[in-house]
Structure 1
């Protein structure tokens, strides 16, 4: 069985859900093409998705083409739901990046392409909407090369551009020139006009290696160019690999709840086989289904290369590894930069609100539910806030209000700090020895963890293997660093375990889990942290006669323009702006630009806060205060 796990990604409104519908219709999975506007699409199954005409949750459908079973994952395009895209990218064998022939390369398009290339996900580009007025060809190809990547291989050319009769004419005349950049045999054939070089094999090889990106033009609405794209899916993109008889290794990329509240986990199998009745750390597998012709078919097992839906894993969470952990679990996109307090309209609904938010956080861990004297959640933007509010009302029957969104800061380590707790010491109530060192790491690297202790110092009777001990300690470290010295997430650091000790058979995982915060926060206190604020990169397009007002507003909001480009009646400005001011800019832009200004922005970096650093209340029993922490964790006063 040949399987291709395929993702369709795009900037919002580029037409990826419409392309999904067209592919399913062409394969005979559905007998009519649904409409995003009418809320009748196959993969947008949530009521909110149908009402709003946007994809909110990733959806999986399947079809067969050329002997290949394609598991197709339709992902959100709106940047507020980028976390859903991130989880999907981790399980793909290939992707189709959809670009509008009218709007061209947009902010989210660039973010997605950079990430696909960084992960080396083989990617085809489908230029959609060639039947729309204003559709472009050659200058759009130039735009793709300049803004996404020059490694493009046009697979043909559009005909009747900008008309309802627009079509796509396959043409490999420019293919040899594109492939010759990375293949000496193709180069020789191209230069000397030698026949017999198999361009198809070279194209598949270079696409699989991320060296080239085939480009197709078409229309998801009319079906133009879709046949050529489908042929590319079957012949150009690499199929899923993995040994069904190897050790089990899978990743959970989606969690749902059924009508009775039961959890269902979507997994991508990279190695091995999972069967019904297998016992895992998160529970016992009670049922399995696999995508089959647009539906989910019951199965006794799910094997390497496949996507499966598992029942029975009561404690499973999105992002969990099943079996052997896979490398490269770092976060691909920036975390949310906003948070808001959620308040039930009826105070008696607080327990129900909390339970509902817990379920939403299971499906999207980046919501990051926090509870002290109030409930708060993290957000990417205001649209996500509206969706959460509507979900609480329609699916959980809880009416809630959201306070004004505030900025989420992070903490970066400024020095190196070490701390150790020794098993048997009078003030250590835990049956374990832990030594940790924390030091700064490059921006964007997240939280890295290394073991620098011998295997014999690890309690193998608890964790089974060095890799599982490493994974557990990494999890304890990341959990602790969610609240630094000022209460914010600590990022861009390296934590090294320098000492470990145990007493068999008394030491437990709980000893390591509970002792880690005490040791790590003491090391962090010695290292010191700096609170940093999120900064967005923006691109602003305004009428030329309003550029002065636009630049004045940017200056008042603390923006730093670094590129200005007048073109005809328009003026483009790009630069950086504090995330705290981006909503002010969005709100005031229509007034200064006669309603014609266009703003695009995306997270760019963090920078140190000037002045007194903001703080956030702790919710972790405060391991910075030894007495308070032990009182809560051990339920007794420390000796």
Structure 2
């Protein structure tokens, strides 16, 4: 039985969860519609979601369309919870992007559409809320074409928009011919040739629409209302006909991706996994992540609106897996693959310190936040051991409120937060090298480590490479160095994470296993992984200081629409907030300004705009890139010294003396330097 894994995506309050509820009602899964306002929808199951009327966690529900099984994933619309959408994208076969007929194309709508197009996920557009006062048809289509994509095909028109009697009237094949030909011929040379020859049939046009929608080249647009049900049957038919079913062989090698982890009633982990190949069964042992392995003790799949216990989950389906105690979001099941590894959206740009009201709760707080980070890795816990503080990364203030409420409701912890600050990054500005040799003071470790840090292109992350022979010492020691390099670069010279650099190991050396004649093995004279883990941070930070690093702050792409007569009042405020206007234009009585603004200033601008624009300004700001911070205003974060984590090595080395040293030398011809 074919399966379609379908995502429902939208800007917050566009009616995404209401549409999910209406879809379930239309296909017969539920007899009575739930309400977001009443907290009675099928997919918003968390108490916090019901209280706030917003989706916080992605939820899966299933229904049948003939012989097609649809696993529908309802995702959050609020930008503070974009991480949930991030993880879902890697498991989708198709998507429905919901747009409000009243508010139109909003900031998050554009972010989502750009990502769906980049990933080539087949997408239908559903314009919701056509029953609301102020709903638009033709202007909305123009906005979708201008601000999302010109490759759209309106599948019908709206009757009586803005009234409870609104209806969606599908175009007849004759009425649909012109818009179809205009869009499809641009991507189909054979169709264009047939059109020129005058021989394009309606069936040929429809077949091209199905093919090009499945390849994410065009996007059919439906109009309707999740509240009244208008247009929803036509959308259901479009989902069935136009979106491609999942592929993958059920008898192939097992491959899947974990996109969500939650905890059950007894605190056990439950992993949501999309299977791309093979069949996973109860009691199977499965490898996952970076070499971990576990036994699947329970499987449930989604059928007819609920999760039911089963014995297996096959390629194309989503299953809930039990028994994998250390499973994490993003883990690959079975055969390694790159699915889910790519980051589709910007990382969090804000952070805050979480403070327990009762000092005795510090340990419990760390445990609770660790569990939350399992479900949302982008929370990115950071512990300041010196100050006994825990920081978390955030997308916005709403997410902070949700973390606070979750800690209170689920863990009984009363917490407050310090002021939210912006997360910066560091990038090397030059090259720097350092080395410590085994057997030479003041190195207390039985290890030789030489490292060079070089800048790399923006967005490339951290790359580790070797300029010594791989066989010069045991692989475990190289692995210890690489892992420690990545761990150490979480805080640079100014305390921020270091990125976009290449770290090259230029020197290596170790003391092999030592033993005295007729005596047992003498561990104190032999190198261990701890020697390399202790020495690497010292060498790396010395190399980074020699290279120099510059702090970069997150910058947002700014789009501001404001009454033209208020622009003169807005511009000085933008300058004060270090915003850089790039283009300005007018649309009737409205000025449209686009440019860049530091992420740290977006919140303040949002507070000031209503007073500057009589409450009529519309602000869109989404992350765009990192830019160097102006000199003299460099923000810093407390830096923890890497210290001598193997300080016990100092005593043991001096007490026992040193054995023979095996070394690997640099290939690059650069002089080594002793610190």
Q: TM-score, normalised by structure 1?
A: 0.89
State which drifts further: 269-278 or 7-16: 269-278
2:456 to 422, 437, 441: 441
Please name the residue that 1:400 is paired with.
Answer: 415
Matched, 1:332 2:347: no
SS in 2 for 1:319: coil
Please name the residue that 1:187 is paired with.
Answer: 192
SS in 1 for 2:605: helix
Contact 1:282 1:314 in 2 (8 A): no
Contact 1:368 1:377 in 2 (8 A): yes
State which drifts further: 569-578 or 527-536: 569-578
State which drifts further: 66-75 or 568-577: 568-577
Residues 163, 499 of structure 1: CA spacing in aligned structure 2 closer, same or farther, 3 A cutoff? farther
Please name the residue that 1:466 is paired with.
Answer: none
Matched, 1:233 2:239: yes
State which drifts further: 481-490 or 258-267: 481-490
Deviation at 1:192, TM superposition (A): 3.0
State which drifts further: 389-398 or 170-179: 170-179
C-alpha distance in 1, partners of 2:52/2:31? 24
SS in 2 for 1:383: helix
Residues 9, 473 of structure 1: CA spacing in aligned structure 2 closer, same or farther, 3 A cutoff? farther
SS in 2 for 1:198: helix
2:599 to 574, 579, 589: 579
C-alpha distance in 2, partners of 1:346/1:520? 38
C-alpha distance in 2, partners of 1:365/1:202? 41
State which drifts further: 5-14 or 123-132: 123-132
State which drifts further: 235-244 or 277-286: 277-286
Please name the residue that 1:361 is paired with.
Answer: 373
C-alpha distance in 1, partners of 2:397/2:282? 41
Residues 581, 369 of structure 1: CA spacing in aligned structure 2 closer, same or farther, 3 A cutoff? same
- Any idea what the Cα deviations from partners look like across 1:41-80, whole Å, max 9, x if unmatched? 1111111111111111111111111311111111111111
Residues 516, 362 of structure 1: CA spacing in aligned structure 2 closer, same or farther, 3 A cutoff? farther
Residues 557, 30 of structure 1: CA spacing in aligned structure 2 closer, same or farther, 3 A cutoff? same
Please name the residue that 1:595 is paired with.
Answer: 615
C-alpha distance in 2, partners of 1:205/1:326? 27
Contact 1:44 1:50 in 2 (8 A): yes
Contact 2:530 2:646 in 1 (8 A): no
2:317 to 298, 306, 320: 306
C-alpha distance in 1, partners of 2:249/2:466? 29
- For residues 13-52 of structure 1, the aligned pairs below 5 Å read 13-52=13-52
Please name the residue that 2:269 is paired with.
Answer: 263
- Any idea what the Cα deviations from partners look like across 1:103-143, whole Å, max 9, x if unmatched? 21111111111111111111111111222222222232222
- Any idea what the Cα deviations from partners look like across 1:476-496, whole Å, max 9, x if unmatched? 654443222322122233456
Q: Which structure has the greater CA radius of gyration?
A: 2
Deviation at 1:524, TM superposition (A): 3.8
5+ residue gaps in structure 1?
Answer: 464-468
Residues 496, 475 of structure 1: CA spacing in aligned structure 2 closer, same or farther, 3 A cutoff? same
State which drifts further: 563-572 or 336-345: 563-572
Matched, 1:391 2:406: yes
Contact 2:352 2:417 in 1 (8 A): yes
Residues 435, 44 of structure 1: CA spacing in aligned structure 2 closer, same or farther, 3 A cutoff? farther
- For residues 452-463 of structure 1, the aligned pairs below 5 Å read none
5+ residue gaps in structure 2?
Answer: 514-525, 655-675
Deviation at 1:11, TM superposition (A): 0.9
2:258 to 249, 252, 260: 252
- Any idea what the Cα deviations from partners look like across 1:325-375, whole Å, max 9, x if unmatched? 322623221111111111111222222222221111111111111221212
Matched, 1:606 2:614: no
C-alpha distance in 2, partners of 1:199/1:417? 61
